[in-house]
Amino acid sequence: MKDIITLGIESSCDETSVAIVKNGREVLTNIINTQIEIHKQFGGVVPEIASRKHIENISEVTKQALKEANINFEDIDLVACTYGPGLVGALLVGVGYAKALSFALNKPLIGVNHIEGHIAANYITFKELEPPFLCLIISGGHTHLVYIEDYTQFKILGKTRDDAIGEAYDKVARVIGLEYPGGPKIDKLAKEGQENIKLPETYFDNLDFSFSGIKTAVLNLNHKEPNINKADLCASFEKATTDMLINNTTKAINEMKVNKIALAGGVSANSYIRERFKILGKELGIDIYYPELKLCTDNAAMIASAGYYNFIAGNVSGMELNAVPNLKIG
Ligand code: KG4
Ligand code: ZN
């Protein structure tokens, strides 16, 4: 069969990324132009600035990707872009650019759900991984437990009822004086601390999550005891949030009778969470997958991969494709 080359575009938040991926799993290039340095001074992503920066960068990042993959526009078979969920102005830049490319090159356009992209990051890291499996998507915007029936078929088993886990990490980091994005800073500082502070964990009858309770508890504690050991607080926060993830995932494993679990999303870069899931895998005798670090956070290679599998399934978008900020999965 002829190779299929996908050009993927990701612009849903603060990363302008363009990737070229062969046959859905082989990354020829994955350029990520991050705006973190710009948004850092505001303590979080400023949507207006994000869209403006995407506009400034997208053409240059695309040129760079083609150069690095050593291909021309004519070699591209598919154009895939994130069309939601995310910041509407930021998404529109990628969608508009992808539509123009698809039209000019006369190649199919594939609109990709960002969450499906995070799941697909695992296909790039693990060439042998195939559905069905269970995926825990933990990022700045999402916390979902999903049963992956097939490449484009998903069943939502549980999701957060309030804050996404990454949102809680970033907020906790900010109040204890760590820079945006706080997740990686908490990861680092926690290694110097003890899990000796009791924090509230929230559980429901079903597989939903909630992280606003623990977030508020940490904020109040830090306010009441400004001299509290920040490393201990980070370690205890990591432990409690991971306990909640492990609890629901274990329930889902029993319910769905799966023997493969994949993690995905920015928070799956967390070293403590990775370690705890590795231990869980050993205990239960099941395989645990998590994408290589660069593919955990937002990038276009995962979008190209998900775009490829949507193309194979016949899900091609038309020129009416639009940004859908609150796009759901499943
Ligand atoms: O997947 P992502 O790049 O964007 C969304 O789709 O939301 O995830 C970004 C989130 C941020 O909240 C960031 O703090 C978190 O991932 N993150 C981490 C780590 N690396 C990134 N959280 C905990 N530990 C990390 N090592
Ligand atoms: Zn993401």
**In this predicted model, what pLDDT tens digit does every residue of 270-328 receive, in sequence order?**
999 999 999 999 999 999 999 999 999 999 999 999 999 999 999 999 999 999 999 99
DSSP string, 95-124: HHHHHHHHHHHT--EEEEEHHHHHHHHHHH
* pLDDT in the model for residue 44: 87
**Average pLDDT for residues 64-85, to the nearest whole number?**
98
Residue type, 62: T
- Work out which ligand 1 atom sits closest to the CA atom of 15: 3
CA Rg, the chain, in Å? Answer: 20
* pLDDT in the model for residue 321: 98
pLDDT above 90 for 240: yes
DSSP state of 266: G
Q: With CA atoms as reference, report the closest residue to 258 among 107, 85, 101, 136.
A: 136
**Average pLDDT for residues 176-197, to the nearest whole number?**
96
**Residue carrying structure tokens 């403590």:** 272
Question: For a substitution probing ligand 1, which of 13, 159, 169 has the most ligand atoms within 8 Å of its CB?
Answer: 169
pLDDT band at 219 (very low <50, low <70, confident <90, very high): very high
Counting residues of the chain whose pLDDT is more than 90, the rounded percentage is 96
> Pairing between strand 143-150 and 153-159?
antiparallel
**Mean pLDDT of the chain, nearest integer:** 97
pLDDT above 90 for 224: yes
Tens digit of pLDDT for each residue in 46-58? 999 999 999 999 9
Beta strands in the chain (DSSP E): 5-10, 15-22, 26-34, 78-84, 109-113, 133-138, 143-150, 153-159, 260-264, 287-289
pLDDT band at 1 (very low <50, low <70, confident <90, very high): confident
- Whats the size of the chain, residue-wise? 330
Starting at the edge strand found earlier in the chain, the sheet holding 78-84 runs 26-34, 15-22, 5-10, 78-84, 109-113
**Average pLDDT for residues 158-162, to the nearest whole number?**
98
pLDDT above 90 for 15: yes
Q: From ligand 2's centre to the CA of 279, what distance in Å? A: 25
Tens digit of pLDDT for each residue in 114-151? 999 999 999 999 999 999 999 999 999 999 999 999 99
Q: With CA atoms as reference, report the closest residue to 8 among 295, 325, 291.
A: 295
pLDDT above 90 for 330: no
| Residue nearest ligand 1's atom 8 by CA | 266
CA dist., res. 280 & res. 277, Å (int): 5
Burial string for 221-255 (b: 16+ CB within 10 Å, else e) reads: bbeeeeeeebbbbbbbbbbbbbebbbebbebbbee
Q: Which ligand is nearest to the CA of 275?
A: 1
Cα separation of the two ends of the chain: 30
Tens digit of pLDDT for each residue in 242-268? 999 999 999 999 999 999 999 999 999
Q: With CA atoms as reference, report the closest residue to 78 among 321, 325, 317.
A: 317
For residue 131, is the peptide bond before it cis, meaning its omega torsion is within 30 degrees of 0?
no
Tens digit of pLDDT for each residue in 86-105? 999 999 999 999 999 999 99
In this structure, are residues 218 and 237 in contact, taking their beta carbons and an 8 Å threshold? yes
Q: From ligand 2's centre to the CA of 14, what distance in Å? A: 10
Does the reported pTM lie above 0.85?
yes
DSSP state of 160: B
Q: From ligand 1's centre to the CA of 126, what distance in Å? A: 21
